[in-house]
Structure 1
C-alpha cells in the first residue's frame, strides 16, 4: 500500500511538470503543437481545441510592439461606460527572455533622453519604473522561437470593467474563469497585427440599477474583450511640435538630454501619417490616403447622413493641398471592426441616450495616430427629433412636419459624425467657434432656431459643411512641406493667417467650469454676442410655448408624455443663460505667445456686464417662469407601464401629479447657480477694486434683491412663483456666505445681503401678505448658528446634455426603493 501511494504521488508530480524531452530539454514547438490549428502571422499562435488554449509563438525578443485591449461587445449603459468598441490604453511593450521565463515589459516613455549617448539614456531608464504586464513559462522551444501559454493573460480584465462597475456603485464583481473562453471567430493573425478575442464573465452580488436594466441576469455580466498586438509604424513619421494657439491633442514627455536653457517638457501633436506624392505641388494626391469605415449595422437614412458628414473632412484636406486624401467607405462584411487596419465609425446602442465620442490608438513614442475609432450613440438622434418636435411639430396628421423634424435631426447627425471624426484626426473641442460664425464642427452646437413671424424656422439649424477654423487646423496639422522648408516659420504663418480671419481656439478648460470667465466660450451656445443671443433665444422660447398644444404629440399617444416635449421648450434658454452669465466678471483672453501680436487679456466692458445682468435677471421674472395654463390642465399622472425617466421630466413635490412650481424652481435654481457662482462672485468683487467704475458684486447682489423682493406680494400663481424665487435667493446666499472656499469679500457681501433681505420681508410678513416667514426663520437660524442651517433640497433641471438614465427611474421599473442619487 505504501509503494502504491508513493507511485501515485510520483505520477501526479510528473503531470504538473511541463512535458520534456529525454535529457531534460523542453519539447520542440513542432512536436508540442502537433494536431493544433496554426495561425501564422505577425505573432503566430496555435489553437488547442482540446484544452481551449491559445499558445503563442514568440520569435521577436527585445523588439517593441504595440498592445492595447478593447471591448468587442459591451454592457449597454452609458453611466457605466463599457460600450461596444471602447478602446483601452495603448502600451508599447516588448518580450524579454530570462532563462525559462518570458516577461512582457512596458518601457517608460514618459521620461526619456533623446541622446546618442547610451549611458545618458540608461541613466534615465534606470531612474523611473517600468511595468511588467505578465510573466510566461516557456513550454516548448525551437531555434530562436519559444512557445508560451497566452490564455491566462487574455482572460484578464484588461479594459477595467470591474473598477468601472464598482466606481459607478453597481456592485462588487470579480472575474469568473469558469465562465471565460476564447472567442475563436475574431482571433486571427495578420502580417502586421495579431488579434485575440475572449468571452469574459464578471460575477457579483447586489448589482446596481444600471446593470439590472441592461443585463438579463445582472449577477453575471458577460461581454467580449479584444486584445491587439500590432507592429509599430515604420520609421519616417515626422513629429510636429504643439502650438497652444491651435488645437491638437498629443503626447508629452520629459527629455533629460535637453540643455538647461530650454524647456525639458516636450509636447507633440497627434495626427495620422499623411504625405503628398509631390510635396512641392500646391495640390497633390496622398501617398496613402486616410480611409474611415462606417459600421454597416447603421440603418438608413442615418447611414447616409453619417457618411456625408464624415466626408466633409475632405474639404479641409483639400484646403491643405491634398486630392482625395480623406475617404469614407462602408466596412466590408468580412472585416473585423477591432482590426487595427480599419479607422472605424461605429453605431452603438445603449439603453437610453448617451454621449458619442472619438478616440484614437496612437504610437506613444511619436504621437502618430494608428487607428481612429468613433462611437456614435444611436439614441441621441431621437432626442434631437424630440426638440424639433417641440419647436415645429404639429401632428394634425401622423405625418405632419415629420420630414422637417427628421431633416433637422439628420443635419445634426452629419455634424456629429464630422465632430467625432475630428477628434480622431487629433482635434480637441473649440468652444469659441460658435461665436465666430459657426467656424468649427469641433464646437458643441445647439440648433439655430430662427424666428419667422409667429413660427420657427429650422432650415439653417446646423451647418452643412466643415468650418473655416477646421480647414486652418488641418492645414496647420497636416501640411506636407517640401524639403528645405523652415517648418516652424511656415506653421507660424498659418496661425497668423488664421488669426487675421478672426479665428481663434479655446477649449474645455476655458468653457466647461461653471465659473469660467471667457464671455464667448461655452457649450451649446450660439451667436457672436452671448447677451443678444440670450434675448433672441428667450423670444424663440416664447413662440414655442405660445404654439404649444396637444398636437405636439401624435394622436393615440398618452397625454402624460406631452411633458417630455415640453421640457426642452421650457428650458430652451438654459445654455444661453449659462453663456450670458460668463459675461459677469468676464475676461476676454487668447492663448497668446510673446511677440505674436494677439491681445492677451482684458475685462469685459462695464456696459456689457450690466446688459448681461439685466438679461439674466429677466429669466427670474415670474411671468417668464410660469407654466402656460393650458399645460397645467394637459399633463396627467403617468399611465400604467409609462414610467417617466426622471432625467427627462421635471422633478416634483406633488407625487404623481405635475408640480406647477417644479419647472419654475428648476429654472430659478439654474440662473442663481450661475449668477452666484463663488468664482464669478470673487472676480466681480476684485474687478471693482481695480476699476472703480466697473460692475461689482455689491451692485449685482443689490439688483438681484431689488428684482426679487420689491415685486408686489400676492398669493396668486405668479406671486407664489416670486415668493419661491425669494426663498431660493435666500438659500443660495446663505450657502455662499457659509462657503469656506469663497473669498472673504464674497462671503461678507452675501452676509450683508441676507440681513438686508430680512429687513425687507419682515413688514410684509407682519401684514400677513406673504409666506416669507420661512425666509426670516432661515436667516435667523443663520445668524444664531450658521452651521445648523439645513441644506435645502433643490429641484434641479432635467438633464439636457445627452446622458443616460437615472437610478430612480430604473428602480421604479424594477419595483425597488430608490437609492440616493445626486446630479
Structure 2
C-alpha cells in the first residue's frame, strides 16, 4: 500500500516563549570527506511515480514480545517499535509521533553510504535558496561518504576521509590510515536490543538529523553577523520516505537569535556590519528545511577516466600513496555520467540507462518546451559517438509522489528568490572513487526574466571604481570557485539590454511575440550551458574567438553554428550594429568544442586502447575551433582570449562595434518619446545598460595591452604555449581606449537628458540597499576612467609590457612601456595643455592621473620594475614643465589656473621628496 506521510509540526508556542527556550545544540565536528568533490548518490535511476515505500504496523518478532531486556541495557526491538509505523527503504525507518528510529542491520555497520543534503526551503537570499544542493555556497555541509560505527552501546555517524588512499592491505594503506582523520557528524546510543531474526538494532534518528548537522548556524552567523543558533526544541522531522535504493528524511530546522545586533554608527567603512534577513516577518526566528538522502555507492565502480588540461571537465581527485614513482600522489579523474551501450557492437545504440532529466512540476508551462530543447540539444554530441537518445526529459506530474530533490537522476527546478542572485546553477554530486556523476539539480531563478529590467538597472548600475573594475575583469590573484557560474545572470542582463536597444531603434515591440522569442532563446541557451555543467563540463571562455564578425552577422550561419565554439562560454548577445542585419542573438546549438569534449569524456573505448585514444583526442586541442580556456585563465588577468562577454576573432573590432551600439542607444534617449503611462526610469535603465556594456567592451581592450595568450598545448602542437598579443593589436586597443574613454570627447550625455534620469521611487529599497535618487552619468564615467587608469598604470601591466619585449622576435616592434605611458598622458592632458577651458569632469580625471603619478614616485611597491619607476618619473618631470608653461600663458579662468598650479605643486613635491630605494 502507498506510504502515508506523517508531518510532525512543533507545538505552537509564543515567539517570546520560544526565544527563551534557547535550545542550542552542541555542534558535532564538521567537514571530512573528499576535499575536492561532492559526495554522491547511487546510480539507480529515478523511479516512476509509484516509487514510495510502504508504511505498516510493526511486525511481531517471534519470541520478542515477552522478552525481557538485559539488565541496564536497551529495551527489546518489539518494545521500542510497538505502535510505530515502519517505512521501508534502503535503511528502514520507524516512526511514532515525533520519534523516529533508524534500523541498522549488522551488514549496514562499517559500510559506506552517501549522505546527500539539499535545502528544500530556504530564505530566498544570501545563498539560502530552497531547491539547491547544500554546500554550493559554503565549504561545509556538502554531501559526504558516511558510515555507521558501533562502539559498545554507542553508534557514530562518521564522514569517511576517502581523499587519501593506497591499495587495501598494503603497508602504504596502514600508513595512510594513521596519517589522516575521519570526522564525526553525530552519535547516539543504541535504542533497542537486536531483532531476534534480522539482528538489526534501532538508533535515534532525531539525535543524528534533528541537529545543526550542516553547520547552517555558522552560515547564518557569517551571512548576517547575528547570533543565530539551532533551536532543537522547535525543530522536527516532517517527512519520511523510502525505496530499496534510498532513505529520505526531511527536517524542519529552527534557528533563533534572541537579540539582534545593529550597525555601529561611525564605524570605519571597511568594518563588517550586522544585517538582517529581508524576507522574514520577524528576523529573530527562521526555519530551514533540509532534505537528507541516504543511498549506497554503485556496487560496481565505473571505470575512471583521467583528466587532461586541454579539455575542460570538473575533476575528482584522490591522493594515492600506493605508487611512489609518480611525480605526485594526486590523481585526477573527470566527472561524468555512467553511459554504456545496450548493443556495444552497434554503430548507434541506445544506452543501458539514459541520463534522465526530470522537469519539476513548478516550472511555468510556457518555458518547459525551451528548457526541454536545451536538454535534448546535447544528444547531437552523443550521437556522434554512438549513443541514441543519451539524454531523456521527463515531466513530473501533479500526482507524482516523488520529489525532484530525491536521488538517482538529474532534475530542473524553478526557484523564486527575493531578488536576482545567480540566474541559474547546475551543481552535481559524484562518486569520489571514480568521478561518476550520480545526481544533478539545475535551478532556474525566476527573477532573471525581462519583467524586472527596471529593478536590475538600478541594482546593477556601477556606483564605484571597485564595481567598474569587476566589469572590466581586472586581474586579481585568486581564481573564483571552479563551480561558480554567473552565465544565466549575465545572459539575462544581455537579454534586457538587447530589448532596450531594439526597442529604441524601433525594430522590436517589447510586448510582442518576437520579444517573447528572445526570452525563449535565452532559456534554451542557459539550459544548454547548465546541462553542460551537469555533464561534467567547465566553462570555456576562449571559445568566443573562433568566428569572424561577418559570420556572426549572418543569420543562417549562426543558426547552424551558433556564436561561439562552446555553449560553456559567457557570450554576449549577438547585437547588430546600427544599420546591420544581425545573426541569431543567443547560442542555441552546440559548438565544435562541445562535440569534442563529449567525445573525450564519453566515447566508449576499450580499456587497452584508452590511454592512446584519449591522447589522440586531446591532441587535437590546437585546432582553432577547439580552443579552451577556463575560469583561472580569465581571473588571473593575463590571457586576453579567455574573456567573458567578448565575441569574434577581432577583439578590437568587437569592442568598437559594441561601443558604437552603446553610444547609439545613449543618443536615442536624448529625444525618446515617453508615454503618459511610463516614468523616467526607462531612460535611466537604458543609460545604465549602455554604460555597463561599454565598460565590458573597454575591459576587452584593456586585456590586449600587455596581453599574453596562455595555451594549454602539449609539445608537438606546433604552437608556443606563451604568446604575446601582436604589437599592432595592442596599439590599436590602446588608441581606442585613449580616444573613446580617456579623451575629452568620451562618453557623455546632454544636460537636458541628465535632468530626466529619475528613479523608481517605489523601488528604491527593493535591492536591500538604498538606490540614490540622483543619477550622475558624469560620476559613473569618471569612475570608469579611474578604473581604466588603475589598470593601465598598474605594476602588473607594466611588468607584462616589459616582459613581452623579451618574448617577441623583434623587440623593437613590441609595444614599449614608454609608448603606453605617453599615450595615457596625451589622452588625459591634451585639452588642459591646449589653452582652452577645462571642464570639471576633466579636472577630476587629471587629478586622478597626477595623484597616481605621485603615488608611483612616493610609494613604489616592492614588485614594481625599476624601468617603470624611471619612466613614471620622467613623465612627471615633463608634465610639470608643461603645466607651468600652460599656467604662465594665463589663458582661461581662475579655476583653471588654480587647477594647474595645484597639480604642478603636487608633482613637484613628489619629485623632490627623499626616497629610500633598494637595488640601486
Partner of 2:75: 27
Q: Which moved more, 1:763-772 or 1:340-349?
A: 763-772
Return the offset for 1:533.
1.0
**Equivalents in 2 of 1:469, 1:30: separation in Å?**
61
Q: How does 1:301-316 map to 2 (within 5 A)?
A: 301-316=366-381
Q: 1:167 aligns with which of 194, 218, 222?
A: 222
Matched position secondary structure for 1:284 = coil
CA distances 1:596-637 after superposition (whole Å, capped 9, x unpaired) = 54432222222221112112212223323112444223223x
Q: Which moved more, 1:461-470 or 1:714-723?
A: 714-723
Return the offset for 1:761.
2.9
Return the offset for 1:63.
0.8
Shift of the 211–750 alpha-carbon distance from structure 1 to 2, 3 Å rule, reads farther
**Equivalents in 2 of 1:219, 1:359: separation in Å?**
31
Q: Which moved more, 1:729-738 or 1:385-394?
A: 729-738
Partner of 1:348: 415
**Equivalents in 1 of 2:796, 2:498: separation in Å?**
35
**Equivalents in 1 of 2:855, 2:68: separation in Å?**
74
Matched position secondary structure for 1:62 = coil
Partner of 1:124: 176
Matched position secondary structure for 2:798 = helix
1:420 is the counterpart of 2:530:
yes
Q: Which moved more, 1:172-181 or 1:208-217?
A: 208-217
Q: Which moved more, 1:385-394 or 1:289-298?
A: 385-394
Partner of 2:635: 512
Q: How does 1:281-292 map to 2 (within 5 A)?
A: 281-292=346-357
**Equivalents in 1 of 2:364, 2:722: separation in Å?**
48
* Contact kept in structure 2, 1:531 and 1:611, CA below 8 Å: yes
Shift of the 630–299 alpha-carbon distance from structure 1 to 2, 3 Å rule, reads farther
1:196 is the counterpart of 2:249:
yes
**Equivalents in 1 of 2:904, 2:625: separation in Å?**
52
Partner of 2:783: 666
Matched position secondary structure for 1:200 = strand
Matched position secondary structure for 2:825 = helix
Shift of the 505–398 alpha-carbon distance from structure 1 to 2, 3 Å rule, reads closer
Matched position secondary structure for 1:347 = strand
1:608 is the counterpart of 2:733:
no
Return the offset for 1:352.
1.6
* Contact kept in structure 2, 1:87 and 1:359, CA below 8 Å: no
Q: 1:698 aligns with which of 791, 807, 818?
A: 818
Q: 1:147 aligns with which of 189, 198, 202?
A: 202
Q: How does 1:757-772 map to 2 (within 5 A)?
A: 757-765=879-887, 767=890, 769=893, 770=896, 771-772=899-900
* Contact kept in structure 2, 1:678 and 1:736, CA below 8 Å: no
Return the offset for 1:572.
2.1
Shift of the 37–586 alpha-carbon distance from structure 1 to 2, 3 Å rule, reads same
Partner of 2:314: 249
Matched position secondary structure for 2:228 = strand
Number of aligned residue pairs: give it.
753
1:632 is the counterpart of 2:687:
no
**Equivalents in 2 of 1:490, 1:777: separation in Å?**
69
Partner of 1:525: 646
Q: Which moved more, 1:440-449 or 1:550-559?
A: 550-559
Q: How does 1:99-118 map to 2 (within 5 A)?
A: 99-113=152-166, 115=167, 117-118=169-170
**Equivalents in 2 of 1:786, 1:195: separation in Å?**
71
**Equivalents in 1 of 2:751, 2:208: separation in Å?**
64
Shift of the 141–603 alpha-carbon distance from structure 1 to 2, 3 Å rule, reads same
Matched position secondary structure for 2:443 = strand
Matched position secondary structure for 1:271 = coil
Matched position secondary structure for 2:625 = coil
Shift of the 708–273 alpha-carbon distance from structure 1 to 2, 3 Å rule, reads same
Return the offset for 1:648.
11
* Contact kept in structure 1, 2:665 and 2:686, CA below 8 Å: no
Q: How does 1:217-366 map to 2 (within 5 A)?
A: 217-333=282-398, 334=400, 335-355=402-422, 356-366=424-434
Q: Which moved more, 1:604-613 or 1:167-176?
A: 167-176
Partner of 2:496: 386
1:76 is the counterpart of 2:199:
no
Shift of the 194–552 alpha-carbon distance from structure 1 to 2, 3 Å rule, reads farther
Partner of 1:13: none
* Contact kept in structure 2, 1:105 and 1:131, CA below 8 Å: yes
* Contact kept in structure 2, 1:398 and 1:555, CA below 8 Å: no
Unaligned runs of 5+ in 2: 1-66, 136-141, 263-272, 454-491, 548-563, 916-920
CA distances 1:33-86 after superposition (whole Å, capped 9, x unpaired) = 11112111101111121xx12211111111111112221111111x44545323
1:687 is the counterpart of 2:742:
no
Tell me the TM-score normalized by structure 1.
0.85
* Contact kept in structure 1, 2:375 and 2:393, CA below 8 Å: yes
Matched position secondary structure for 2:815 = coil
Q: How does 1:354-753 map to 2 (within 5 A)?
A: 354-355=421-422, 356-382=424-450, 383=453, 384=492, 385-394=495-504, 402-437=512-547, 438-453=564-579, 460-481=584-605, 483=606, 485-497=608-620, 499-500=622-623, 502-513=625-636, 516-548=637-669, 551=672, 555-618=676-739, 619-636=741-758, 638=759, 640-643=761-764, 656-688=773-805, 691-711=811-831, 719-734=839-854, 738=859, 740=861, 742-745=863-866, 746-753=868-875
Partner of 1:179: 234
Q: Which moved more, 1:611-620 or 1:284-293?
A: 611-620
Return the offset for 1:23.
3.5
* Contact kept in structure 2, 1:388 and 1:408, CA below 8 Å: no
* Contact kept in structure 1, 2:666 and 2:686, CA below 8 Å: no
Partner of 1:793: none
Shift of the 398–121 alpha-carbon distance from structure 1 to 2, 3 Å rule, reads closer
Unaligned runs of 5+ in 1: 1-18, 788-823
1:54 is the counterpart of 2:174:
no
Tell me the TM-score normalized by structure 2.
0.76
Q: Which moved more, 1:739-748 or 1:27-36?
A: 739-748
CA distances 1:228-255 after superposition (whole Å, capped 9, x unpaired) = 2111112041100011110111111221
Return the offset for 1:679.
1.8
Partner of 1:37: 85
Return the offset for 1:282.
2.4
Q: Which moved more, 1:296-305 or 1:104-113?
A: 296-305
CA-based RMSD: 3.0
Return the offset for 1:430.
0.4
Return the offset for 1:765.
4.6
Shift of the 681–346 alpha-carbon distance from structure 1 to 2, 3 Å rule, reads farther
Return the offset for 1:431.
0.3
Partner of 1:821: none
**Equivalents in 2 of 1:228, 1:249: separation in Å?**
23
* Contact kept in structure 1, 2:592 and 2:625, CA below 8 Å: no
CA distances 1:625-673 after superposition (whole Å, capped 9, x unpaired) = 112444223223x364241678999x9xxx7433252232133134224
Return the offset for 1:442.
0.5
Matched position secondary structure for 2:663 = helix
Matched position secondary structure for 2:331 = strand
Matched position secondary structure for 1:123 = helix
Return the offset for 1:363.
1.1
Shift of the 140–646 alpha-carbon distance from structure 1 to 2, 3 Å rule, reads closer
Shift of the 776–309 alpha-carbon distance from structure 1 to 2, 3 Å rule, reads farther
Partner of 2:53: none
**Equivalents in 2 of 1:460, 1:117: separation in Å?**
60
* Contact kept in structure 2, 1:713 and 1:719, CA below 8 Å: no
**Equivalents in 2 of 1:665, 1:403: separation in Å?**
39
Return the offset for 1:403.
3.4
Return the offset for 1:310.
1.9
Shift of the 56–444 alpha-carbon distance from structure 1 to 2, 3 Å rule, reads same
Partner of 2:115: 67
